[in-house]
A and B are shown apart, each in its own frame.
Chain A
């Protein structure tokens, strides 16, 4: 096994399903209302 296959897995911090809905959340955030 090469070293890139060890302990470098997908997880919540680095792998999120792609969705265009995140664009809307972001454009709202730029106006100060995401949270």
Chain B
């Protein structure tokens, strides 16, 4: 035995489970009087932010919620949503942030599958919650968030037994929250569209969340002076783990109820926003904002985007408005971003076209992701770094999910060969930068939201006049992609219009999943009768 293995053991003084919750405790001590969270006319210092989160944890604990219990939240980027990322795991419980664009049936599925013990819901989604709860065979206590900046109807107020602020009053602001006994303990549950209709529940650990928060802070250059505007929904990968990253450095969170240029530009100017994230659609919205919505600002705002490569015209237009664009890539399964198109000094001198070509690449792994490769999905042999050979993007590291909840088969499939398989196909350039070329999964990404083409197809197949249906992505300047449906009607069916099928889809799907284009006719097939989706993808490009 070597001498380093003797009397040098782990103990409470030198080995503590990693958790992003420790960032808040630290920032509350270091930046007690500094604004931690700004929302409209409200602002909370770090001391207040911490006290509110401890109240939330304490109020949950008093209701018997603890380790292994799921607490769901359906809310836009308001303070309650941010506090949920701390208060819920401080009770030992698991946070399940729900996508507010989903339809009531999907939300009901998630609440059931995730076994939510309590739901926190914003008044705006009162009707959605009421409908979702009707689908569920058991009652779930609801805490209603009544955000003062919500101007809409409160008629459909959630059947909440208590308002959120009153619920916080139940809790102890000095609650001595239980530290996680194990850093592998679950912190978040996030559902993602899979290749099958039902979404899969991705489970995050305290360890992974801690590491990706630090990876983000390092990669995006966050400092204690950073002011982060919440243009990215926090239900997406825990806000790409920025919910914890901004707190880690003691920066300021600026909440935003709605992603609207008329709110974004004034917030940038008023609060001196330094950083923000968003899907390419957010960048497009800013570029095409009406003149009266644009408030000029005289500093550089760093904006990170992902989900699709930012087109050169978008980068140029953003730069002319005072933004600097960073391209990130990741998935729900990797706590949000896990690669960055890291800037190289020699790119400074390149022309616009060449710079855009560099920036379109998804890049290199985060410093907190231990390994990435582009490889053959079967043999796991890395492809040559020649910028031409295609392979699947794979990750290995501590910011890869624990797995899919109650889905051993899907977890095993995703981790086969000891690597996480992203389902994205890419080339690997000689300089080590990876560039995604296609997705092997049947997923359409529209406005930053994943749509399972199979889920849409299933709805179309249920229409009495439809014989066959195939849904593929159609490139779209505004949304990145939109679903395009190819439909063959039954020979004896009466003619059905695209409008009728749109109505049908709206009844059965969330609005963003409804195909924007319909093409009627026979579908191209292989010799074995398989629908040739790549042919349809080409055809979709030409559809007007």
B196 to chain A, nearest CB (A): 18
Question: Which residues of B have CB within 8 Å of A2?
Answer: 67-69
With both chains docked as a complex, state the minimum distance between the C-beta of A27 and any C-beta of chain B, in angstroms.
8
Interface residues of A in 9-35 (CB under 8 A from B): 9-16, 18, 22-23, 26, 29-35
Given A3-B405, A4-B68, A31-B432 in contact, is the A11-B418 Cβ separation under 8 Å? yes
Min Cβ gap A29→B in Å is 4
Are A10 and B184 in contact, with the CB atoms below 8 A?
yes
**CB-contact partner of B364 in A3, A5, A13, A29, under 8 A:** A29
When distances are taken between beta carbons in the complex, the residues of chain A under 8 Å from B173 are none
Interchain CA distance A8-B203 in the complex, whole Å: 8
Given known A-B contacts A4-B68, A6-B406, A16-B398, A11 and B430 have beta carbons under 8 A apart: no
Contact B385 A35 (CB under 8 A): yes
Does residue B400 face the partner (Cβ distance < 8 Å to A)? yes
Question: Which one of B126-134, B246-254, B365-373, B457-465 contacts A?
Answer: B365-373
Query: What is the minimal beta-carbon distance from B415 to any residue of chain A, in angstroms?
Result: 4
Partner of B431, one of A3, A13, A32: A32
Q: Which residues of A contact B429 (CB under 8 A)?
A: 32
Are A3 and B385 in contact (CB-based, < 8 A)?
Answer: no
Given contacts A8-B203, A16-B397, contact A30 B405 (CB under 8 A): no
B35 within 8 A of A: no
Q: How far is the CA of A32 from the CA of B384 in the complex (A)?
A: 12
Q: Are the C-beta atoms of A14 and B406 separated by less than 8 Å? A: no
Secondary structure dominating the interface of B = loop
In the complex, the answer to whether B431 meets A31 with C-beta atoms within 8 Å is yes
Minimum C-beta distance from A3 to chain B (A):
6
Q: Are B94 and A4 interface neighbours, CB within 8 A?
A: yes
- Report B-chain residues with C-beta under 8 Å of the C-beta of A16: 370-371, 396-398
Say which residue of B185, B420, B430 sits within 8 Å of A13 (CB atoms): B420
Find out whether the CB atom of B402 lies under 8 angstroms from the CB atom of A30: no
Residue of B nearest to A5 (CB): B68
State A16–B69 Cα separation when bound (angstroms): 27
A12-B115 contact, Cβ under 8 Å, with A3-B406, A22-B370: no
Nearest A residue to B208, CB-CB = A14
Kindly state the separation between the CA atoms of A29 and B420 in the bound complex, as whole angstroms. Answer: 19
Chain A residue numbers with a CB within 8 Å of B402 are 4, 8-9, 14
State whether the Cβ of B303 lies closer than 8 Å to any Cβ in chain A.
no
Of the listed residues A9, A10, A16, the one surrounded by the most CB atoms of chain B closer than 10 A to its CB is A16
State in angstroms the CA–CA spacing of A8 and B94 once bound together. 14
Q: Do B371 and A4 have beta carbons less than 8 Å apart?
A: no
Q: Are B398 and A15 in contact (CB under 8 A)?
A: yes
Q: Please state if B94 and A13 are interface contacts (CB–CB under 8 Å).
A: no
**Complex Cα distance A15/B182, Å?**
14
In the complex, are the beta carbons of B184 and A13 less than 8 A apart? no
- Complex partner residue of A7 from B367, B411, B414, B430, CB under 8 angstroms: B411
Is the CB–CB distance between B405 and A4 below 8 Å? yes
Q: Which of B185, B365, B408 contacts A29 (CB 8 A)?
A: B365
B373-402 interface with A by 8 A CB criterion: 373, 382, 385, 395-398, 400-402
Q: Is B307 an interface residue when CB atoms closer than 8 A count as contact?
A: no
Residues of A within 8 A of B400 (CB): 13-14
Contacts known (A13-B396, A16-B397, A30-B364); A4 close to B431, Cβ less than 8 A: no
Evaluate contact between A29 and B432: CB separation under 8 angstroms: yes
Residue of B nearest to A20 (CB): B367
> B422 → chain A, closest Cβ, in Å?
11
Asked whether B415 lies within 8 Å of A8 as measured between CB atoms, the reply is: no
- B364 to chain A: which residues have CB within 8 Å? 26, 29-30
User: Does B171 reach chain A (CB closer than 8 Å)?
Assistant: no
| Contact across chains for A3 and B115 when beta carbons are under 8 A apart | yes
Our pick among A3, A8, A12, A26 for the contact of B411 (Cβ within 8 Å) is: A8
- Residue numbers in B under 8 Å from A6 (CB-CB): 406
Q: What CA separation (Å) do A6 and B203 show in the bound complex?
A: 11
In the bound complex, what is the Cα–Cα distance between A4 and B93 (angstroms)? 11
- Whether a CB of chain A sits under 8 angstroms from the CB of B244 is no
User: From A34, which residue of chain B is reached at the shortest CB distance?
Assistant: B432
CB < 8 Å neighbour of B186 from A4, A10, A30, A34: A4
Give chain A nearest CB distance to B396 CB in angstroms.
5
Q: A7-B403, A13-B415 are in contact. Are A23 and B367 (CB under 8 A)?
A: yes
* Contact call B405/A8, Cβ cutoff below 8 A: yes
13 A-B pairs within 8 Å (CB atoms) are namely A2-B68, A3-B68, A3-B115, A7-B411, A11-B418, A12-B419, A15-B184, A16-B396, A26-B365, A26-B367, A29-B432, A31-B431, A32-B431
Of all A-B residue pairs in the complex, the 4 with the closest CB atoms, nearest first, are: A2-B68, A12-B418, A32-B431, A14-B400
